[in-house]
């Protein structure tokens, strides 16, 4: 079988490698010629994905994976097309389909009878049927359901651990027709391998949800749940801190009962998924007040955390050197998509602080490229704020940030005992 993966980003490229490792001949299509060149050289174009470099070199060397900028020609040769092109969303929850529309047009121009097209990019409910089906039919002159099949199957993995997550979680599919779902199920059963999950009544593997709309909503539901849960944890944390209560003990106690699954509070919710997909859900369901309130609560956490620092510093951060630790949206990942770093830096600058940023995964030049002054351990600082839970921060002491009178741990990663003499705050805990 020949499979084309459209979009060789941090999800698309590992998927292409996975399919090639499982025996398919795979063509990776991407609009970026530098990415295409690196893939054809067997070199990963971005760091941080476990096993990607070794697996990529293996499948490229064996001739099972090649890359091209000509999407239509790749599709013309393929039995299955998997689409992992980014969908962008603005602050008003309006999706920008520009990149996906362009990719879909290219796919339509190359589409041949008998092909199964599967979209994995997270979408508003109804997009597969109402947008992609007519667009593909118009560009190709073919009829969905008889000449070709169209399916939605959401990616459910995290960058940095894609290959492990592909094994760990059921693969959800939803077709526009029963035959399309059957074709997609057979494809994923061939190219994916699943860990045993005795905790799942249905068992691990490929799950046909019966419609594209159900599969679209399932991805939005699982990520929106996390945003709502974190929003609740953040509200609990703010209340607990103002009443001298350790919210982390409260959460541990609550979760000891099997029907409670409260997440942890923190300075920000970042990444491509959790801050974005609730907005896609709101685009379909603008009356979802719970979802909207949680998104607003989480979006306000960077300013709240900066407020903690301001209060601990006597109410004035003007001219104070504030070292923000962590540009990435989460620890161990070199990615700033919707990271809390942006709102944190903006809030500090509005208060007149002299802001410096540190991240072990970024060079000083890269940090400067974002418009930030890089911070190095050993430099004096008046205030320290932890924005990302990189493992490198766990062992930090006051000697690493000399002069810091205030330390605000936005992720609960530092050891309070290592900062004796400083006012030490953790988001969700009262000052001690």
Phi, psi of 288 (to 5 degrees): -75, 80
Q: Which pLDDT value is given to residue 429?
A: 82
> How many Å apart are CA 79 and CA 88, to the nearest integer?
28
Q: Please give the helix or strand (H or E) that residue 68 lies within, else none.
A: strand 65-68
Instruction: Report whether 231 contacts 306 (CB < 8 A).
Output: no
Cα distance between residue 67 and residue 70, in whole Å: 9
For residue 91, the SS3 value is coil
Provide mean pLDDT across the span 184-193: 98
Q: From start to end of 233-381, where are the E strands?
A: 321-325, 354-358, 373-374
pLDDT of residue 213: 98
Task: Please state the φ and ψ torsions of residue 295, each to the nearest 5 degrees.
Answer: -60, -40
CA–CA distances in Å: residue 162 to residues 11, 313, 422 = 7, 42, 40
User: What pLDDT band is residue 93 in, cutting at 50, 70 and 90?
Assistant: low
**131 pLDDT tier (thresholds 50, 70, 90):** very high
Is residue 273 scored above 90 in pLDDT?
no
In the predicted structure, residue 191 carries a pLDDT above the cut 80: yes
CATH architecture assigned to 301-426 = 3-Layer(aba) Sandwich (3.40)
Exposure letters 296-328 (e unless 16+ CB within 10 A, then b): ebbbbbbbbbbebbbebbeeebeebbbbbbbbb
pLDDT exceeds 70 at position 45:
yes
**Cβ pair 140, 111 in contact under 8 A:** yes
Does pLDDT of 91 surpass 70? Answer: no
Rounded to whole angstroms, how far apart are CA atoms 81 and 5? 6
Strand-by-strand arrangement of the 171-175 sheet: 65-68, 25-29, 2-6, 80-83, 116-119, 149-152, 171-175, 206-208
Top-confidence residue, 432 or 45: 45
The ranges assigned to domains in the chain are 2-210, 230-299, 301-426
Alpha-carbon distance of 199 to 178, in angstroms, equals 28
d(CA 67, CA 6) in angstroms, rounded, equals 10
Which region among 13-27, 90-104, 206-220, 324-338 has the lowest average model confidence (pLDDT)? 90-104
Task: Note whether 372 and 294 are within 8 A (CB).
Answer: no
288-317 pLDDT, tens digit per residue, is 999 999 999 999 999 999 999 999 999 999
Q: Which residue has the tokens 């704020």?
A: 385
The per-residue pLDDT for 379 is 97
CB 120 within 8 A of CB 15: yes
Are 2-210 and 301-426 equal in CATH topology?
yes
**432: pLDDT strictly greater than 70:** no
Per-residue model confidence (pLDDT) at position 190:
97
Lowest mean per-residue pLDDT among 79-93, 360-374, 384-398: 79-93
∠ CA 381-386-389, nearest 5°, is 140
Distance CA 8, CA 339 (A): 22
Query: For all residues of the chain together, what is the average pLDDT?
Result: 96
Four-way CATH pick for 2-210: 3.30.450.20, 3.40.50.720, 3.20.20.70, 3.40.309.10: 3.40.50.720
Residue 40 pLDDT more than 80?
yes
pLDDT band with cut points at 50, 70 and 90 for residue 47: confident
Question: What pLDDT sits at residue 94?
Answer: 83
> What fold characterizes domain 230-299?
1.10.1040
DSSP E strands, 160-292:
171-175, 206-208
Residues of the chain with pLDDT > 70, as a percent, come to: 99
Q: Please report which helix (H) or strand (E) contains residue 89, including its range.
A: strand 88-89
- Six-digit token pair at 238? 């703010």
DSSP H/E element including 117 = strand 116-119
Of the candidates 116, 91, 89, 110, the one whose C-alpha atom is nearest the C-alpha of residue 100 is 89
CB-based contact 341:331 (threshold 8 Å): no
Average pLDDT over residues 190-216: 97
């Amino acid at each position: 079988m020949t499979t084309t993966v459209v979009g060789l980003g941090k999800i698309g490229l590992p998927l292409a490698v996975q399919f090639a490792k499982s025996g398919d001949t795979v063509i990776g299509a991407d609009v970026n010629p530098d990415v295409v060149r690196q893939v054809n050289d067997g070199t990963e174009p971005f760091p941080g994905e476990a096993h990607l470099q070794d697996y990529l070199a293996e499948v490229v060397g064996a001739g099972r994976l090649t890359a091209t900028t000509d999407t239509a020609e790749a599709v013309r040769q393929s039995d299955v097309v998997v689409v992992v092109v980014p969908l962008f969303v603005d602050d008003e929850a309006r999706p920008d389909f520009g990149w996906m529309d362009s990719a879909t047009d290219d796919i339509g121009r190359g589409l041949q009878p008998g092909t199964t097209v599967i979209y994995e990019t997270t979408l508003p409910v109804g997009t597969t049927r109402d947008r992609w089906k007519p667009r593909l039919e118009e560009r190709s002159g073919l009829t969905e359901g008889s000449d070709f099949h169209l399916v939605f199957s959401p990616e459910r993995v995290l960058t940095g651990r894609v290959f492990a997550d592909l094994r760990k979680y059921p693969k959800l599919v939803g077709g526009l027709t029963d035959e399309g779902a059957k074709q997609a199920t057979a494809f994923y059963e061939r190219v994916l391998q699943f860990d045993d999950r005795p905790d799942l009544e249905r068992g691990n593997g490929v799950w046909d949800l019966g419609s594209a709309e159900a599969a679209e909503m399932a991805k939005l539901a699982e990520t929106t749940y996390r945003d709502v849960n974190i929003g609740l944890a953040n509200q609990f944390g703010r209340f607990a801190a103002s009443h001298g209560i350790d919210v982390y003990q409260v959460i541990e106690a609550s979760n000891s009962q099997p029907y409670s699954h409260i997440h942890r509070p923190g300075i920000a919710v970042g990444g491509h998924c959790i801050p974005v997909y609730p907005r896609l859900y709101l685009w379909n369901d603008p009356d979802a007040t719970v979802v909207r309130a949680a998104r607003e609560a989480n979006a306000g956490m960077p300013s709240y955390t900066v407020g903690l620092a301001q209060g601990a510093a006597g109410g004035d951060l003007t001219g104070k050197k504030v070292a923000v630790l962590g540009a990435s949206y989460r620890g161990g990942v070199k990615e700033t998509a919707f990271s809390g770093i942006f709102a944190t830096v903006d809030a500090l600058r509005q208060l007149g602080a002299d802001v410096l940023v540190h991240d072990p995964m970024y060079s000083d030049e890269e940090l400067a490229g974002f418009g930030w002054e890089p911070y190095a351990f050993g430099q004096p600082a008046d205030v320290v704020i932890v924005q990302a839970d990189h493992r490198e921060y766990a062992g930090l002491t006051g000697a690493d940030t000399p002069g810091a009178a205030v330390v605000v741990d936005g992720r609960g990663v530092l050891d309070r005992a290592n900062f004796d003499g400083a006012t030490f705050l953790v988001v969700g805990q009262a000052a001690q």
